[in-house]
Amino acid sequence: MNYRFQFDQVFAAWPQLLHGTWITIQLSLTATVLGLGVAIACAWGKTSGPAWLRCGINAYIELIRNTPFLVQLFFFFFALPAIGLRWTPHTAALVAMVVNLGAYATEIIRAGIEAIPKGQIEAGLALNLKRWEIFRFVILKPALKTIYPALTSQFILLMLSSAVVSVISADDLTSVAANIQSETFRSFEVYIVVAAIYLLLSLAFNALFKLVYQACLNYPDRR
């Protein structure tokens, strides 16, 4: 194989790569926070809500988990404008990521909630705690501690899946890489650099989630 590596043109485009990386980080972290909120609300509704609410949440989960993320992204960006709801590529990407993460994380959190011993809930009731206090302090926090590794894996997978949003012209890292490749014709070098950036982002997100665990969830188990 007689191939000369030429990374100089790729590294010369570092401002664009940095911008794309920042958009990817921004999308991923915002979708993580909002998606987690959606998942917690849906997990509560699925475990404690009325029958009609449980049916609606189950339908939402089955719809999202059994359709491709790309189709969901196209629905928000291309289909909804037909009924007058228009979003920028960035907003459509964010909404699609939140909806997708919410469905997957709901099932993870639901499993954690159902693993909480009934005795703890009964103890909360005996202490005359309100329902929201029981859910927050007795159920949710221990549940999150139990399922945290699975949840953070889903968060990192969401960040990696964000590469798909480049198909609707969102200015993420993959979109920037495609633009640089079309200008330099150095596909091999461009995607080696982009793959390395995604790897570093995954390691950075993993380190961040470990810090969050240490700060918020790593408390002594007194059971």
* pLDDT in 10s for each residue of the chain, 223 residues: 677 888 998 999 999 999 999 999 999 999 999 999 999 999 999 988 899 999 999 999 999 999 999 999 999 999 998 888 889 999 999 999 999 999 999 999 999 988 888 887 778 777 777 777 788 778 888 888 889 999 999 999 999 999 999 999 889 999 999 999 999 899 999 999 999 999 999 999 999 999 998 887 775 554 4
Residue 199 backbone dihedrals phi, psi, to 5 degrees? -60, -45
Separation of alpha carbons 101 and 98, rounded Å: 5
Chain centre distance of CA 124:
32
Question: Which position has the token pair 């920037």?
Answer: 176
Separation of alpha carbons 105 and 154, rounded Å: 7
Domain architecture of the chain: domains with CATH: 10-217 (1.10.3720.10)
Are the beta carbons of 87 and 77 closer than 8 angstroms?
A: yes
Whole-number CA gyration radius for the chain: 21
Are the beta carbons of 47 and 114 closer than 8 angstroms?
A: yes
User: What are the Cα distances from residue 201, in Å, to 21, 44, 112, 147, 173?
Assistant: 9, 31, 27, 22, 11
Residue 143 backbone dihedrals phi, psi, to 5 degrees? -65, -45
What stretch of H or E contains 14? helix 14-48
Q: How many CB atoms are closer than 10 A to CB 191?
A: 16
Separation of alpha carbons 183 and 129, rounded Å: 63
Residue 156 backbone dihedrals phi, psi, to 5 degrees? -65, -40
Residue 222 backbone dihedrals phi, psi, to 5 degrees? -100, 10
Nearest Cα neighbor of 208 from 163, 155, 158 is 155
Are the beta carbons of 156 and 202 closer than 8 angstroms?
A: yes
